[in-house]
């Protein structure tokens, strides 16, 4: 269990309880089970960024507060300098960096995601959530699976899709891939 997962899970649990929401009520709102939500809250398993996005929306807090415990304060504009985004290394497959963490009440979540290579035959972990996603490959190449489709994305390629379809990524050629990802609700 990672320390980051434990901290995020504790924040989810604390805010859920302060909001007087049961595990089953919040779980239903984010389309998961109470048992799965309990695992997220305990920090036992990684929480997909899409689930974090859904939880923050349901709890009425910003993603920044959920990830860091701090409240975003800017509302006119936000500048995040190179390599200064709030980074979260929550799981082996992906490394997330929030590119607008200090802007309050974002309507989209821009992220820089580094996708780690996996064994050639390793399965792609899939998730679903409300909204849409945009991916622009900055470096390397990756396969993105959306439903039954597997699409190879290389440097300079972009893909936009309905994120209610099961989706996930895997880097290719034994090296990391970097992608600018924007998630909307």
pLDDT tens readout for residues 170-183: 999 999 999 999 99
Q: Is residue 73 part of a domain?
A: no
Percent of the chain with pLDDT over 70: 96
Task: Give the residue numbers spanning the domain of 133.
Answer: 86-184
* Confidence at residue 51, expressed as pLDDT on a 0 to 100 scale: 86
Residue 36 sits in the same domain as residue 100 = no
Q: What average pLDDT is seen over the chain?
A: 89
Reference 66, options 88, 93, 36; nearest CA is: 88
Q: 110: domain CATH number?
A: 2.60.120.10
For a pLDDT cut of 90, what percent of the chain falls above it?
54
**Axis-axis angle for helices 49-59, 3-18 (nearest 10):** 20
Whether 128 and 57 map to the same domain: the answer is: no
Q: What is the pLDDT at residue 35?
A: 95
Residue found under tokens 């396969």: 143
Average pLDDT for 113-128: 84
How far is it, in rounded angstroms, from Cα 56 to Cα 114?
22
Judge if 109 and 171 occupy the same domain. Answer: yes
Average pLDDT over residues 14-43: 94
């Amino acid at each position: 269990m990672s320390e980051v997962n434990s901290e995020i899970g504790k924040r989810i649990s604390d805010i859920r309880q302060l909001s007087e929401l049961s595990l089953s009520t919040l779980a239903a709102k984010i389309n998961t089970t109470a048992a799965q939500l309990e695992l997220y809250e305990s920090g036992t398993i990684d929480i997909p960024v899409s689930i974090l996005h859904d939880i923050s929306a349901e709890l009425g807090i910003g993603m920044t507060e959920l990830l860091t415990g701090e409240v975003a304060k800017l509302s006119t504009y936000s500048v995040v300098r190179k390599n200064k985004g709030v980074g979260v290394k929550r799981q082996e497959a992906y490394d997330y960096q929030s590119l607008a963490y200090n802007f309050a009440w974002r309507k989209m979540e821009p992220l820089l995601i580094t996708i780690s290579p996996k064994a050639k035959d390793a399965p792609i972990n899939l998730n679903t959530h409300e909204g849409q996603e945009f991916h622009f490959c900055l470096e390397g190449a990756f396969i993105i699976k959306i439903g039954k489709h597997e699409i190879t994305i290389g440097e300079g390629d972009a893909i936009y899709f309905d994120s209610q379809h099961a989706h996930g990524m895997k880097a290719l050629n034994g090296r990391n891939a970097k992608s600018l990802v924007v998630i909307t609700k």
